[in-house]
Amino acid sequence: MVRRTKEEAQETRNQILSAAELCFYRKGLSRTSLAEIASAAGVTRGAIYWHFADKSELVGALLERINIPLQPLSEASRSPSEPDPLGRLRDLLVTVFRRAATDPEVRRVSEILFHKCEYTEDLGNLRQWMQDFRREYNHNIELSLGNAVAKGQLPEKLDLVVASRCVHAFITGVLDQWLLVPVGLDLDAKAETLADGILDMLRLSPALQKT
């Protein structure tokens, strides 16, 4: 009975998330109410509050849900026992671009975060949540790059802080551009090219090395 109750609670949570994703995508965060999400999910507002404190928690959960498949590659690129961390980072980059291009859920959530998200008072601590997420993202890239430096795959003097921010900016810049103007770039077909461009920058740019 307890197991069934937990399964039902998880199913309800997923229903709410899927409804929120579609509502946010259609109307944007600030123009979507929790009542609209509840109606779309076929639940009460109380059910939403049982799982999520506010809209910012819904957004965070959506982002976490699409990032789950990326975790093994991200962890492998940071692991000291991984013999090819740069290869795993490349795989991660290719996967990020290809999923945005081919997975409708990933594309919708990305569109919400890049183009339908306002850091207004009614969204509570969403700005803080996103700042924390990006700091963690930067830190994980730093660890991956440091691991690749330790394995002799990147220059010994690579400035990990600057390089990690450049990688992060490259990823978000490509996604932002493509989501707004997808015509002219086959993101799926060019995913490996884009990933290799990032790695070439890390390997070859003197500006990214400490003097």
Q: Tens of pLDDT along 78-98?
A: 999 999 999 999 999 999 999
Model pLDDT, residue 208: 98
The SS3 call for residue 48 is helix
Q: Cβ distance 194 to 174 under 8 Å?
A: yes
Can you give the pLDDT at residue 2? Answer: 47
Global confidence as pTM: 0.91
Token pair, residue 200, equals 């070439």
Dig out the tokens for 12 from the structure.
């309800």
Residue of 88, 84, 59, 86 lying closest to 73 (CA atoms): 88
Q: Which residue has the higher pLDDT, 112 or 128?
A: 112
pLDDT digits (tens, 9 = 90+) for 97-126: 999 999 999 999 999 999 998 877 766 688
Q: Please, which contacts does 158-162 make with residues 24 or more away whose CB atoms are closer than 8 Å?
A: 158/202, 158/208, 158/209, 158/210, 159/208, 159/209, 159/210, 162/208
Q: Tell me: the pLDDT tens digits for 27-75?
A: 998 899 999 999 999 999 899 999 998 888 899 899 999 999 999 999 9
Average pLDDT, the chain: 93
The pLDDT score that the predictor gives to residue 118 is: 81
Query: Cα 93 to chain center, whole Å?
Result: 11
- Which tens digit of pLDDT belongs to each residue from 45-54? 899 999 998 8
